[in-house]
Chains A and B, each alone.
Chain A
């Protein structure tokens, strides 16, 4: 003849199951969060080639990061620092000593030396 299980044993089993469920849920949640954060921070950041209008005034003012953040915009012209080798090369496109002269009609009949066009 089966004896009924004491009620306190059922309660103990129920508590163990609940505890296990909570523990497993927490573990899965933590793992999912870790994967999600890893994926988010693994994405390469996109940056516009030029500074978005007004972007410089929207920086947070409360906290300064402990380490220098990667650049997200072009440095200002007057503040850009280049190594010494580049400093000698002015970042300006230089005009020719003399502009190209269009050849008169009779000269146009002469075979040109070269041709400049799209490639």
Chain B
């Protein structure tokens, strides 16, 4: 893990209501990579923003099959797959529950409300049907891809930039990270002199991305660890951000689909590493929702994770923080 390591080139800009960070291992490729990322995020915003009445997802008809763009179809498939894989704990049909909680506009525009509300369970992800590139959204279902949507965009953008430019890429959208291509650092040369790559383009040499982990994706806290990541995705779900007051009590953006309310306060922040950013995000969000027993669930899936409880205790599972 030691050795001279060349820091990647970086671009940062606001996008999707959060911060987009782009890192590439080839500084000359940064302008084109940034252009590709901005184009991708604009397309994502137009396809599945819940806060744009003209977005494709908000204009979907209910109760009948409607063709959708490949981008939205992919995002919906990723969301439904995440719901299936988490036993419905990460559910794209929580849109109305979020609205009932008061998250019906850009987070920056949310104001505290003393009005009470009665949480209602989400209608259920299995009611949304995908048939090829068509989707049937039942009546009364408001979709929200907020959980997996950004992660899917990060995975897509990182893969597209690597495909186009061939350099190592890290895309972070609000702290959900996707990587593609060789990580920065002294990669071992392959037979042809080029760094060897896995099928996903990850470096098999000594390259690594250095990522600090904590409650907040913008501000580091004291004692926040730094981990090295060679490939795949890393995502954090935390109830410390995007929190407000509703009905005289604190609420936040993570909803338990079983109740339509915020989950029991067990885990404050959960960070998960996975093969992709979507998988990492789904696991992290599901762990926050699951509460007690989330460590065992993550361990059973062999997903390395760091869980921080509301009482401050830190639990690392499935090899988090150590090399095997």
Is the pair B220, A98 in contact by a Cβ cutoff of 8 Å? no
Query: Which A residues, 73 to 119, have Cβ-Cβ distances below 8 Å to chain B?
Result: 73-75, 77, 80, 82-83, 85-86, 89, 91-104, 107-108, 110-119
B173-217: contact bitstring with A at CB < 8 Å (1 yes, 0 no)? 111110000001000000000000010001000001111111111
Closest to B76 in A: A86
Residue pairs across A and B with CB atoms within 8 Å: the count is: 223
Q: Hey, which chain B residues are within 8 Å of A71, CB to CB?
A: 124, 126-127
A22 CA to B213 CA in the complex, in Å? Answer: 77
Is the pair A115, B211 in contact by a Cβ cutoff of 8 Å? yes
Is the pair A118, B303 in contact by a Cβ cutoff of 8 Å? no
Is the pair A118, B140 in contact by a Cβ cutoff of 8 Å? no
A37 CA to B169 CA in the complex, in Å? Answer: 59
Interface residue from A91, A97, A103, A114 paired with B23 (Cβ < 8 Å): A114
Number of A residues with CB within 8 Å of any CB on chain B: 44
- Is A54 in contact with chain B by the CB < 8 A criterion? no
Are A114 and B211 CB-contacts (below 8 A) given A99-B324, A101-B321, A102-B225? yes
Is the pair B124, A114 in contact by a Cβ cutoff of 8 Å? no
Is the pair B322, A91 in contact by a Cβ cutoff of 8 Å? no
User: How far in angstroms is the closest Cβ of chain A from B97?
Assistant: 10
Closest to A96 in B: B232
Q: Hey, which chain A residues are within 8 Å of B140, CB to CB?
A: 44
Interface residue from A82, A83, A99, A103 paired with B304 (Cβ < 8 Å): A99
Is the pair B127, A112 in contact by a Cβ cutoff of 8 Å? no
Chain A residues within CB distance 8 Å of chain B: 44, 46-50, 70-71, 73-75, 77, 80, 82-83, 85-86, 89, 91-104, 107-108, 110-119
Q: Could you list 30 examples of A-B contacts with CB < 8 Å?
A: A44-B140, A48-B258, A49-B88, A49-B122, A70-B138, A74-B88, A85-B132, A91-B84, A91-B85, A94-B279, A95-B303, A96-B273, A96-B304, A97-B230, A97-B275, A100-B211, A101-B228, A101-B323, A102-B321, A103-B210, A103-B227, A113-B10, A113-B184, A113-B210, A115-B175, A116-B235, A118-B237, A119-B174, A119-B217, A119-B241
